Structure 1
Amino acid sequence: MKHIFNKGKDSTKPTLLLLHGTGGNELDLLPIAGRIDDEASVLSVRGNVLENGMPRFFRRLAEGVFDEEDLIFRTKELYEFLDDSASKYDFNRENMIAIGYSNGANIAASLLFHYQNALKGAILHHPMVPRKGIVLPDLSGKSVFIAAGKNDPICSPMESTELQSLFEKANAKVEIHWENRGHQLTVDEVEAAAHWYRRVF
């Protein structure tokens, strides 16, 4: 997978996994990683799927309708890439925090839905529920921050609270931050995520 790895100043810090939104790339979230923790190592990945020339992490059948088979395949692909990257770049695989926006937040959520030890935690900006009707692994000890928009036309408030509930039922600790905005990534929600990160990690 096309990616950037930047070694941090402090190896005891979590490695930040950056996952962009539709049409983005591995450069998009680097400034946000700096706001969250400027001493942490960063692994920023570009999605392997193209939709009308725009990079994504998995296919969709329509707006808000995921190709579930591809989602499962791409989640496994990313999970294995993270294992390989930890070995290649010599970072602690068990101390990884995902920061994802939109499509990137959805693949990060999918990692948590499918693999118990994929991530230590996640900052999810405007995520959806990646899959319905599956039993999540036990996520005890995992921490998740969800940033959501009360006027988000793509990811409704109901969807955000459903995702929060699913994570909590799987024993994850979840904090949800609301903005009176739409689907855009705002400075305020990044600041809220940074405060949460400093408190939790």
Structure 2
Amino acid sequence: MPMSSADSFYHNTNMRSANGHPLIFLHGSGRSETDGADFLARLSLRVAGIFIRGHHSQRRGYSFIRRNEDFSLDYDEIARDAGDLADFIRDLKHRNPDWAKPPVLIGYSSGAIMAAAILWQRPSLIAGAALLRPQSPSMVRPEPLNGLPVLILSGLWDERRDADASAHLEVQLEQARAKVTHITLRTGHGEAEDGSDYTATKNWLKETFSIS
């Protein structure tokens, strides 16, 4: 029997509650789906969580994207991979008809790039996206997003991103009429030591989607 797209990504779930918007977590490079479970635990939210593993092996973990040797992005491959992930999310929604509302994506680093790519590919599948330390997945802006809420959390001293990477993505999304909230945290590429990644994400989810 052919494998459906809902079987094509290894994932774990925490279906604590089917009420409201489920949260789909996309981890960073060289990491795994367990990062998403840890992130949700830090948010202390009573919500369903889906923790997806990137399907590219990298170092001792996994990634949602592969970079070129010069560290640039392969936009064509990202678009193809985003299409596969969008199919997975679509089929996952069909398998969970008790989901009251569409999911919200939360992506970190390469997971944020892939979450952003879903905004380019199939924004109708999701209610919004939180992008932590992102970078644009495309040279062109997406099609109209019609007020889709997007949170960008950039690091003031991010050593793995160009200084204008998040600002460039913000412009692309605003030109597509997304509702963008961009917060620059006093941190590098990694998690802010003061917990502001969790605080900002939790506040945005509460204010935007009434998730608590």
Could you state the TM-score of these two structures normalised by the residue count of structure 2? 0.87
Q: Give the corresponding residue for 1:113.
A: 120
SS at match of 2:125: coil
The correspondence for 2:151, drawn from 142, 145, 153, is 145
The correspondence for 2:61, drawn from 54, 72, 96, is 54
- CA deviation after TM superposition for structure 1 residue 53, in Å: 4.6
**Do the aligned partners of 2:152 and 2:182 also contact (CA within 8 Å) in 1?**
yes
Provide runs of 4+ in structure 1 moved above 3 Å.
Answer: 34-37, 91-94
The correspondence for 1:189, drawn from 180, 189, 197, is 197
Aligned partner letter, 1:114: Q
Whole-Å separation in 1 of the counterparts to 2:164 and 2:11? 33
SS at match of 2:204: helix
Whole-Å separation in 2 of the counterparts to 1:169 and 1:37? 34
The structure-2 alpha-carbon separation of the partners of 1:63 and 1:196, relative to structure 1 and needing over 3 Å to count, comes to farther
Deviation string, structure 1 residues 83-131 (Cα, Å, up to 9, x no partner) = 1111223354861101110010000001002223132111111000111
Whole-Å separation in 1 of the counterparts to 2:54 and 2:16? 23
- CA deviation after TM superposition for structure 1 residue 46, in Å: 0.1
Aligned partner letter, 1:158: D
Q: Which moved more, 1:91-100 or 1:123-132?
A: 91-100
Q: Give the corresponding residue for 1:198.
A: 206
Q: How does 1:13-162 map to 2 (within 5 A)?
A: 13-36=20-43, 38-62=45-69, 64-92=71-99, 95-132=102-139, 134-162=140-168
- CA deviation after TM superposition for structure 1 residue 36, in Å: 3.7
Whole-Å separation in 2 of the counterparts to 1:82 and 1:189? 25
Could you state the TM-score of these two structures normalised by the residue count of structure 1? 0.91
How many pairs are equivalent? 199
Aligned partner letter, 1:54: G
